[in-house]
Structure 1
């Protein structure tokens, strides 16, 4: 679906590859200017940046594991773009840590890392972006990348499932509080989708089992998720503020 070009300024966290790269391209192809954020994968992020159509895109580095780091990312993005109209909270940690197999010290460290990046960085950047939009007198959009796992459970990745559930709840709270300022907030809850990070899991019997989760017999592409993100950030989607959009090919149906 091709939406009208908006020429808006978009910060996408964790955009060096995978879904973040697809989201960056989805906005850039419609004439938006993108701040491509990365934590450690500078070479990948530069490849993302160099492949974007259009001009005015910027590369933004920064550690999102603490509040000062998040503030630095926001400052550099706002300076590079001259402000912000759209924030996509995509950066996330997703590391395996089943309770029965994980020593306590490692368990505690895993939870701290997931909470810091998946939840707190999302909260901090949402605050910084929304306050900038309000100060500039601009309407805007915040789109959070959640997960199907927030609803069906993640037995091998419990901190991931829990923090994504919190991200969904945060988005709904902010949707109510920011609507008077013309700022819409929504989330997507993808199921399994194909990126280079999980390519090895889609081979052999495990891949067959993953594809069988959906009655379509496949997994999503990153571009399909990115298209939904772009729509939720569009002017046409204002009335979708507060929504959590399931993108899982009917692999998990909520009631």
Structure 2
């Protein structure tokens, strides 16, 4: 039985990932930032026993270390880290360069990079040192985005943070391979989470679905299935990979 820390697991992709691991008999630390009720519901839905709740702002370095310490204490160790917590593009954080004031521009960039990039950076550091100290192998899986490749003109800080997260993962794949630690990333396209329900039900929903030749959006379960593979012993040779999960809505060259 392995021990898994999934950040941002109170809903959406993170919740699906936590469920997928628990269904396979793993023990899961369900992390949340603010949505405690959602996290409590998520953990109550998990099959099996020995799961734990951990909380805190991943964008704060000291808190990131404490989140890992809390998960280690609750589970008895960590074998897998899934860096899912992040700030997604919303109407509240649009920052078009020609329209936004400079002070808002700075705040948005700083916060987006703190949570989407530096959070995973510090969590990965803490988990890597935990694994190296135990002398055991492990897996780190980062949840990136197709926005890292196609550009996000309305949310440039978001696209940049995810591109940097992918690059960080590849650097860590090389650095941690001698210790038997695999580091990979997934790059989802549009995923039908609870947060996106209103958009998909609006007139804009058809346009979003038609971005993919399949005529639909992805599901949290599909992303979770990829994470399960990348965190499996059989996937170690995929370390350094970035797996596109966007239904052919964007193709890299």
TM-score, normalised by the number of residues in structure 2: 0.97
Q: How does 1:52-201 map to 2 (within 5 A)?
A: 52-94=46-88, 95-201=93-199
Aligned length: 249
TM-superposed deviation, 1:157: 1.1
Cα deviation code 1:152-203 (max 9, x no counterpart): 0011111010000000000000000101101000000000010011111112
TM-superposed deviation, 1:101: 2.5
Consecutive unaligned residues in structure 2, runs of 5 or more: none
Consecutive unaligned residues in structure 1, runs of 5 or more: 1-6
1:253 is matched with 251
C-alpha separation in 1, matches of 2:251 and 2:213? 12
From 29, 37, 44, give the equivalent of 1:35. Answer: 29
Cα deviation code 1:229-248 (max 9, x no counterpart): 11100011011100000000
Of 60-69 and 187-196, more deviation after overlay is shown by 60-69
| RMSD of aligned residue pairs (Cα, Å) | 0.8
C-alpha separation in 2, matches of 1:159 and 1:56? 38
2:4 is matched with 10
Q: How does 1:216-255 map to 2 (within 5 A)?
A: 216-255=214-253
TM-score, normalised by the number of residues in structure 1: 0.96
C-alpha separation in 2, matches of 1:97 and 1:29? 40
C-alpha separation in 1, matches of 2:241 and 2:15? 23
C-alpha separation in 2, matches of 1:221 and 1:240? 23
1:46 is matched with 40
Structure 1 runs of 4+ aligned residues shifted over 6 Å read: none
